[in-house]
Amino acid sequence: MKIAVASGKGGTGKTIVAVSLALSLPQNQVQLLDCDVEVPNAHLFLNPTIQGREEVAILRPSVDESRCDLCGRCAEVCQFNAIAVVGEKVLFFPELCHGCGGCKLACPLQAIEEVPHVIGVVEWGSVGEMAFAHGLLNPGDPMPPPIIRRLKARAQDRKTVILDVSPGTSCPVVESLRGSNYCLLVTEPTPFGLHDLKLAVEVARELKLPMGVVINRADIGDSGVERYCQEEGLPILMRIPFDRRIAEAYSGGTPLVEAFPDYKLRFRGMCREMEKQVER
Q: Are residues 124 and 102 in the same domain?
A: no
Please give the Cα distance from 188 to 167 (Å, whole number). Answer: 13
If asked whether residues 227 and 127 sit together in one domain, one would say yes
Model confidence over 100-135: pLDDT tens digits?
A: 999 999 999 999 999 999 999 999 999 999 999 999
Sorted by sequence, the CB contacts under 8 Å of residue 246 that are 6+ apart come out as 240, 256, 259, 260
Same domain, residue pair 110 and 242: no
Same domain for 129 and 205, yes or no, is yes
Q: Could you tell me which of 130, 169, 165, 171 has the C-alpha nearest to residue 151?
A: 165
CATH number for the domain spanning 166: value is 3.40.50.300
Question: Is the confidence at residue 9, as pLDDT, over 90?
Answer: no
pLDDT digits (tens, 9 = 90+) for 151-179: 999 999 999 999 999 999 999 999 999 99
Looking at the fold, whether 104 and 237 belong to one and the same domain comes out as: no
83 and 197 in a single domain? The answer is no
Q: Is beta strand 160-164 parallel, antiparallel or unpaired with respect to 130-137?
A: unpaired
pLDDT in tens, 211-234: 999 999 999 989 999 999 999 999
Q: Assign residue 75 a region: left if phi > 0, alpha if psi is -120 to 50, beta otherwise?
A: alpha
Give the pLDDT confidence score for residue 8 in this predicted structure.
Answer: 83
The pTM of this model reads: 0.93
Extended beta strands in 70-129, E state: 83-86, 89-92, 112-127
Please give the residue range of the domain that contains residue 70.
Answer: 60-115
- Sequence-distant (≥ 6) Cβ neighbours of residue 68 within 8 angstroms: 90, 107, 109, 111
